[in-house]
Structure 1
Amino acid sequence: MEVPPRKSLRAVMPFAPDKPSELVRRELGLKEVVRLCSNESSLGPSPKALAAYHKAAEGLSCYPDGGSPSLRSALARHYKLRPENIIVGSGSDELIRLCCEAFLDVDDEVMVSQYAFIRFRQQAAVMGARLIEIPMTDWTHDLETMGRAANPRTKILFVASPNNPTGTYNTKAELEDFLLSVPPTTLVVIDEAFYDYARENDDYPGTVPGLVRKHSNLVVLRTFSQAHGLAGLRVGCAVGDPETLGWLDRIRLPFNVSLPAQRCAQAALADKAFLARSVQTIVRCRESLAAALREMGFGVMDSAANFLFVRSARVRGRALSKALLRRGVVIHPLDEYGLADHVRISVGTPAQNAALLKGLREILREEP
């Protein structure tokens, strides 16, 4: 190649998605494929969101509303903030990228926790930033150590709560102390993609609107991909100080969120009863699945999300994933995190979870 890319891109590897279900089905001659690999909602979206999707199809010849103004206003009412406190993006991934593009120069420091959501380090690397990694404690972000390590050179500090892939979160007291210890010139980005599953825990922090109002250097990310069941539409939001979000808005693509995504997200946000039922069902299935896996000898962390962080002592993660794939069940190995003996398993329906457990029993019987 004669045209050289940016130097920082040489260290960036492209995202490697799991194989599409239809391709797996054809290649292996399977009747059905159970996807438990991407933390999607096994219950799907609200019927009201689906109705909004079909209605939005009538306007597909037109560009979507730039800036998603109706959805932005609905989110502001929902969070008891102003529209200026909200920016809508194409899922949390775009919003993480916008934070990095807006605030990072080459060699700026970005601090993350060990085993934190991998997209943080990937986007920091794209910008040529220096990555500072802080070890976890009990598979959880060590916010006290991160707060002490933060200094005027620290430009962005990323925290995922609950964290993907460990499923752990930091308490209200831990987060409040942490925010007070971080320099005001450091942007703190808290990714709460799994907020809806964690918020019922008494010690889970209320970042929006309370902490956002107190800390102008705080940005909180939320998404419609998980509990709302809209992963295929890619829509999420960032909540924070208007001046901070204004820099993200300057570089946001003009029509970054499609018309169906905007309409569906607004309908899903309004259907609180469906969201509550969906979350309750997933939590029940999660606890039942965790108990069954522990009985089989797997190490399973307590989770505040819609997935389980599982240690497999007898069969290493990638080998276990391949063996399940041959049986039509897709889970996610965690080699990319350096966790070769762990996998992440999304919580499915009772029937999907039963298929997983059946496959695991067969695999374990084959092992010496």
Structure 2
Amino acid sequence: MNFNQELAGLAVYEAGKPIELVVREFGIQPCDIIKLGSNENPYGCSPKVSVAISENSRLASFYPDDSMIELKEKLAKKYGLEQNQVIIGSGSDQIIEFCIRAKCTKNSKVLMAKTTFAMYEIYAKQVGAHIIKTPSHSHEILEFKQMYAQHKPDMVFLCVPNNPLGECLDKSDVFEFISQADPDTLVVIDGAYQEFAKAKDKAKAIEPKEVLERFDNVIYLGTFSKAYGLGGMRVGYGLASREIIEALHKIRPPFNIGVLSLLAAKKALEDEAFVQTYIKHNFEEMIRYESFARANQIVFIPSWTNFITYILDDKKSSTEVALWLLQKGVIVRNLASYGVNAIRITIGTPQQNDRVLELFSELL
């Protein structure tokens, strides 16, 4: 059977290993598995969310309100925008797909960092767009400027902070880059981890209202999967000018978010205290990983997210380390598929981190 030729040679996105797979492969009981490979909130979601889902489970048989007006209004109020500047997606990665399909063709060019969220490249290649990457693995703003001037791309992805490495551009660098871009270039600011960056360093904080008031060619992406602990509900959003949002809505399929997912996201927004408490714990525990790395001569990337990346030396293979930890019941993310000999570890609870660092000591 013949398929779209753009799919030939296109890599499938490698998701983090689920607990169920580890149970089947290694016979480890679910209660003995620590999952720190997908940057989920290790504390779960707000109790308000759990109660709302339990009390409204009967709604699962109904289609959701396709206008999603209540969630849009809550997000618009949170960011000081109008509800027609908001689009909701099944995770922010669906908004990425909308952006690619709305803006790109076979003749398009898309600029991104060498090592960043894999779905940027996958979605772009699905429409036949040409991928342009910076030389460095991390976001280096001078390289973005040089590559932009050389190639004049139709789209640019800035992952701020960057997944899977954890580094983060300053807001001033992001704004300076956008100011020099052509107004017809769509700049995507992926703020999936902005809640963490804002809490750690104000110089990294990007406020959607500020960027959208200054630039008409920008879309800001956010998600409920990380700080809000709703990875399993799949709710993300895009914030942009009315013109951009109207174009994306022409691509959005009906009922792309389930009724309980919409309810969960609305309730999550009502409990910012839960989010801030989690972020505080996250950076307190991250210090332990940084201290351990320094004490054991492990190179790590300073992180503005809820994970830390350990760069392994030539004597250690990230594939072997990740497999060894997996056999011990700890799921981390092997970055070998990105061309980096490194592992990415979600910052867990104190008890989870005790176990991970104990195993690392044993491994070393």
- 1:286 maps to what in 2? 286
Distance 2:227 2:153 in 1: 32
Distance 1:291 1:356 in 2: 14
Distance 2:90 2:211 in 1: 24
Distance 1:208 1:147 in 2: 22
TM-fit CA distance, 1:132: 0.9
1:21 and 2:19 correspond: yes
Task: Report the residue type matching 2:249 in the other structure.
Answer: D
Of residues 5, 10, 13, the one that matches 1:12 is 10
Asked if the contact 1:92/1:235 (under 8 Å) is kept, the reply is yes
- 1:303 maps to what in 2? 303
TM-fit CA distance, 1:28: 1.8
Task: Report the residue type matching 1:359 in the other structure.
Answer: L
Task: Report the residue type matching 1:154 in the other structure.
Answer: P
Gaps of 5+ in 2: none
Bigger mean CA deviation after superposition, 283-292 or 183-192: 283-292
- 1:331 maps to what in 2? 332
Asked if the contact 1:67/1:254 (under 8 Å) is kept, the reply is no
Distance 1:232 1:220 in 2: 22
TM-fit CA distance, 1:312: 1.6
1:197 and 2:191 correspond: no
- 1:186 maps to what in 2? 185
- 1:147 maps to what in 2? 145
Asked if the contact 1:121/1:131 (under 8 Å) is kept, the reply is yes
Task: Report the residue type matching 2:5 in the other structure.
Answer: K
Paired positions, count: 359
Task: Report the residue type matching 2:240 in the other structure.
Answer: G
- 1:212 maps to what in 2? 212
Task: Report the residue type matching 2:64 in the other structure.
Answer: P
Residue aligned with 2:202, SS = coil
Task: Report the residue type matching 1:83 in the other structure.
Answer: Q
Distance 2:56 2:337 in 1: 38
- 2:349 maps to what in 1? 349
1:47 and 2:47 correspond: yes
Distance 1:215 1:35 in 2: 39
TM-fit CA distance, 1:153: 4.5
- 1:79 maps to what in 2? 79
TM-fit CA distance, 1:287: 1.5
Task: Report the residue type matching 2:84 in the other structure.
Answer: E
Residue aligned with 1:64, SS = coil
Asked if the contact 1:175/1:205 (under 8 Å) is kept, the reply is no
TM-fit CA distance, 1:195: 0.7
Matches within 5 A, 1:234-253: 234-253=234-253
Distance 1:292 1:145 in 2: 32
- 1:175 maps to what in 2? 174
Gaps of 5+ in 1: none
Distance 1:294 1:30 in 2: 32
Distance 2:13 2:202 in 1: 36
Sequence identity of aligned pairs in percent?
30
Distance 1:7 1:16 in 2: 21
Residue aligned with 1:132, SS = strand
Asked if the contact 2:17/2:37 (under 8 Å) is kept, the reply is no
Q: Deviations over 1:57-81 (max 9, x none)?
A: 1211210111321101110001010
TM-fit CA distance, 1:335: 1.4
Task: Report the residue type matching 1:96 in the other structure.
Answer: I
Asked if the contact 2:13/2:119 (under 8 Å) is kept, the reply is no
Asked if the contact 1:108/1:153 (under 8 Å) is kept, the reply is no
CA RMSD of superposed structures (Å): 1.5
Q: Deviations over 1:111-169 (max 9, x none)?
A: 11111211111111111000111123xx5412233234325851110010000111111
Residue aligned with 1:66, SS = coil
User: How high is the TM-score relative to the length of structure 2?
Assistant: 0.95
Distance 2:104 2:24 in 1: 44
Distance 2:25 2:129 in 1: 41
Change (3 A) 1:206 1:153: closer
